Chain A
Amino acid sequence: MEITIDIDDPDPLFAQLMAQIKQAVIAGELKPGDALPSIRQLANDLELNNKTVAKAYRLLERDSVIQAKGYRGTFIHPEARANSTVDLNAWVLTKLRETIEAFRETGVTDSEIRIAFGNIMNNHKN
Chain B
Amino acid sequence: MPDFILVLFYFVFLSQIFILSYYYPQKFYQRMRYVTENFPPSKYPKLYPRLTKKYTAAYADEAVRAGPVKYRRINLFILLVGLILIAVALITGFSLQSKGEEIILVFYTALQFSPIILLEISDFKRMSLMRKTNQDSTRKADLMPRRFFDFVSPVTFGLAVFLVVVYTSFLLYINDFEVSWDNGVLVMLVTIIGVHVYFAALIKWQVFGKKMDPHLANKDRLPQMKTIVSTSVYTSIAMSIFFMALAVMDEFDMHYVQALLLSLYFQALAIFGLGTMLRSSRIEDIDFEVYRKDPTVA
Contact = CB atoms under 8 A, between A and B. Distances in A.
Given A8-B137, A47-B214, A3 B208 contact: no
A1 B138 contact: no
Interface residues of B, number: 16
Interface in A22-47: 24, 30, 35-38, 40-42, 44-47
Nearest to B210: A44
Contact of B145 (A6, A36, A46): A36
A2 B145 contact: no
Contact of A35 (B138, B139, B145, B210): B145
B145 A37 contact: yes
B139 A37 contact: no
Contacts, number: 64
A35 B209 CA distance: 19
Given A4-B138, A5-B138, A44 B211 contact: yes
A1 to B, nearest CB: 5
A87 B146 CA distance: 30
Nearest to B134: A47
B157 to A, nearest CB: 19
A3 B140 contact: yes
Contact of A41 (B137, B140, B145): B145
Nearest to B217: A2
A2 B137 CA distance: 16
A7 B214 CA distance: 14
Contacts of B146: 37, 41
A45 B141 CA distance: 6
Contacts of B143: 1-3, 21, 24, 30, 36-37, 42
B203 to A, nearest CB: 13
A73 interface: yes
Given A6-B137, A37-B146, A42-B143, 20 more contacts: A2-B141, A3-B140, A3-B141, A5-B138, A6-B138, A7-B138, A21-B143, A35-B144, A35-B145, A36-B143, A37-B144, A38-B145, A41-B146, A41-B208, A44-B208, A44-B210, A45-B139, A45-B141, A45-B218, A46-B141
Interface of A: 1-9, 21, 24, 30, 35-38, 40-42, 44-48, 73
30 contacts: A1-B143, A1-B144, A2-B142, A2-B143, A3-B141, A3-B143, A4-B138, A4-B139, A6-B137, A7-B139, A9-B137, A21-B143, A24-B143, A30-B143, A35-B145, A37-B142, A37-B143, A37-B145, A37-B146, A41-B145, A41-B146, A42-B141, A42-B143, A44-B208, A45-B141, A45-B142, A45-B211, A47-B139, A47-B210, A47-B211
Interface of B: 137-146, 208-211, 214, 218
